[in-house]
Amino acid sequence: MSKLSDMNRETKLTIVSAVMFAVGFLIPNPTVKFIDFFIAYLIVGLPVIKLAFLNLKNGQLFDEHFLMSIATIGAFFVGEYPEAAAVMLFYQIGELFQDKAVDDSRKSIKELMDIAPTFANLKTENGYKTVDPYDVSVGDIIMIKPGEKVPLDCIVVDGESMIDMKALTGESVPVSVKKGEALLSGSIVMDKSLVAKVTKDFENSAVTKILDLVENASNLKSKQEKFITRFARVYTPVVVVAAVLLAIFMPIILHQPFKMWIYRALTFLVISCPCAFVISIPLSFFSGIGASSKAGILVKGSNYIEMLAQIDTIVMDKTGTLTKGEFKVVEVNPKGISKEELLEYVSIAESSSNHPIANSILSYYDKSDFNKLESSENISGSGIKAIVDGKEVLAGNEKLLAGIDFEKSSSNDTLVYVAIDKVYRGYIRISDEIKQDSKAAIENMKKLGINDIYMLTGDNEKTAKDVAEKLSIPNYKAKLLPQDKVEFVKNLIDSGRKVLFVGDGINDAPVLALSDVGVSMGQIGSDAAIEASDVVIMTDELTKISQAIKISNKTLRIAKQNAIFAIVVKIVVLVLSAFGITTMWAAIFADVGVTVLAILNSFRAMKY
């Protein structure tokens, strides 16, 4: 009883109709048989007929509901009422299969939508108060208790706990966080309470951006989906016209009974319904998006699923993408001044910058009097020019010190050369560690047959070469300004390449937007990069790129299989029915049967 009560109304009506349909074949009395089949038909067919005439009022003449209604009503008039009932019954069964497939395809996305937090424990003068996440501001202190979702992006200020980030990143293994580490909204605190300081308001938090991406993912259609829509608009009217010609002219030309040719024409109408490819193709892409999101890869539209499968060139930024972007000062080499003086001048000059290199210097030396900073200017792709305590300080790469005599280091690490009042005063050597999965990611790309792989960086030639050799990247470009990266990628695209670009910084946003597919890192990536990209990797793992390409390849194969299968079967049955070789039962298979098989095939895209 409980299983029956869990069924929706459509399923129950379909079961009743199916039982009556089966019983109809056992009834010997022709009148009772007709009544039984007619009731079975109305149970599942009446909603379709109502919708057909409603759409007809809105100018939708050749939709599937109208075609089904005309074909089945006509079948009753020519005495083929078992076929009429069968068409509507199996059409409804096909619809139930479609609904089930769509629900299953949405499952991972529905789970993702459940990550949205509904409250936050905000610290007030009178203790903690439960409020709406929208009412929390940047800088506020919140508490997240075990089992609760992190409501906003924040930094832990007290406590240590295990965090479940599966819904956000697809990573099933919990991670540990402690004081000073970042928390993404939507993750779940597992064992101990955490006190955290909010870094982004709710509208700009990770969870809100993810949900926006997922909700809008189906709006951007692939070329296949657009083609199928255009095809259906032409194909269906052509078949309807052919059916009318069959019913009216063929009996006259061949001097044959009208009833026979009307039956063939009705069979034509049943076959002409474009359900199989109109439903299954978008469902294939939707399933591919679902499979990607389940793996922590957010794809912003079906068109990018399609484009991922066409990629032949991959271009990557170095810092924060191939490397951790966590710079550490490993050497201070002063020239003519003390180590303390060099660090003080540079740290004050860099204090107005939020660049990872600046942060590493400020973390290494925090004893400076920042009131000495009189002015500062960020020289894009070169470094910082500042006035500190009345003196001009240049801190950056070789280009920034053009015209000043200085000693170049042979180190492959990142070097910050320093000049004070046009006099060279030494350098600070900074190291950036390569990510653990970077080498495996490059190997996986090559296994997919993508050998045109480039690394772009603003770092010096030695640093770039060192990283490229360690990761077996065949091509690299060093000393690039943001505009140089844009120009480089534009040249690749103009030469006919299908380019995927991976980056994470604000200065990567123009390149991400320009590329055929722009991929950003969801955890460490800037808001601008995530906004400009087409695909967001929530785990920041480069190996996810090859995984995304594999999912897209599989999705495209399934979509093509569905389209070819549906079109071939329909054309074959159309031709056979025109010559009277097949019956309406074959038409039912050509429409509903093919639709169900295509839907089940589409569902494979979810299984990665």
Tokens 């010609």, residue located? 245
Q: Give me 128's structure tokens.
A: 């903690």
H or E stretch at 264: helix 258-272
Q: Supply angle C-alpha 302, 303, 309, rounded to 5.
A: 100
From CA 297, how far away is CA 73, in angstroms rounded?
Answer: 48
3-state SS class at 501: strand
- Burial per residue of 125-159, b for 16 or more beta-carbon CB atoms within 10 angstroms, e otherwise: eeeeeebebeebeeebbbbbeeebbbbbbbebeeb
Task: Name the burial class of residue 25, with classes exposed (0-12), middle (13-18) and buried (19+) by CB atoms within 10 angstroms of its CB.
Answer: exposed
In whole angstroms, how large is the CA radius of gyration of the chain? 32
3-state SS class at 448: coil
Q: Residues with catalytic annotation?
A: 317
Q: Give me 14's structure tokens.
A: 């379909």
Tell me which residue of 179, 117, 124 sits closest to 148, measured CA to CA.
117
3-state SS class at 34: helix
Measured CA distances, 26 to 34, 43, 57, 150 (Å): 12, 19, 40, 62
From CA 340, how far away is CA 25, in angstroms rounded?
Answer: 98
CB count in 10 Å sphere of residue 558: 23
3-state SS class at 126: coil
Tokens 């995530």, residue located? 530
Q: Do residues 475 and 455 touch, judged by C-beta distance below 8 A?
A: yes
CB count in 10 Å sphere of residue 390: 8
